[in-house]
Amino acid sequence: MKLAQLSSLIRSKNAGPFVLTFDIMFPDEQSYLRVKRSGVLSAAAFAELYRCREETVRFFECDNALAFKFSIPRQIFQGDIGDGDLHGGQQFMPLVDIEVP
């Protein structure tokens, strides 16, 4: 099953002008735990998907919020020349199709 089918919200956003953050949220504990136990989400998996260095990726499993979080430094700071997403809200699509066993 795709990650988007199990989650209630997959989003990206600025965490300040210098960091992008990604949240993956679930409607129930069962779906959250299914993804957590599958191990498909990790700093390494994210780094490969977004073609960035693994050591720059911060990954959190937030059990009480039924959510996962990734944070990475912005390649281009918010609003600087060349930035195409001022609010960082349209960076999440590559996560949507992650296959969850």
Partner 1 sequence: MPKIETEEIRFIAAIGAVGGGIHGDSLDEAMTHEPHFIAADAGTTDAGPYSLGSGKSAFPREMIKQDLALMLRAGKRAGIPVLVGSAGTAGGDAHVDWTLDIARDVARENNLAIRTAVIYSEQDKSYLKTLLREERIRPLEPAPHVDEGVIDRSMRVVGMMGVEPLQRALEGGADFVLAGRCSDSALYAALPIRRGFPAGLAWHAGKVSECGTMAAETMGKGVIFGRIRRDHFIVRPFGPGLRCTPQSVAAHTLYENADPYLHQECSGILDLSKSTFEALDEVSVRVSGSAFIPSEIYTVKLEGAELVGYQSLIVGGIRDAFVIKRLDTWLAGVRERIEAGISKIFGNTLSKDQYRLVFHIYGKDAVMGGLEPDRESVPKEIGLVLEATAPTQEIATTIALLSRQPLLHHPVPEWKGAITTFACLHNPAHIDRGPVYRFNFHHVALPHNQEEMFRSEFVNIGNPVYETSAAL
Nearer to partner 1, 74 or 100 (CB): 74
2: β partners? 99
- Distance from C-alpha of 43 to C-alpha of 2, rounded to nearest angstrom: 19
**Kind of pairing between the strands at 9-14 and 67-73:** unpaired
- By CB under 8 A, tell whether 100 contacts partner 1: no
DSSP characters for 24-69?
Answer: EE-SSHHHHHHHHHHT--SHHHHHHHHT--GGG-EEEEEGGGTEEE
Residues 14-73 that bind partner 1 (CB under 8 A): 14-19, 21, 23, 25, 49-52, 58, 60, 62, 64-67, 69, 71, 73
**Among residues 39 and 63, whose Cβ is nearest to partner 1?**
63
If the CB atoms of residues 30 and 75 are measured against partner 1, the closer one turns out to be 75
Point out which residues bind partner 1 (CB under 8 A). 13-19, 21, 23, 25, 49-52, 58, 60, 62, 64-67, 69, 71, 73-87, 90-91, 93-94
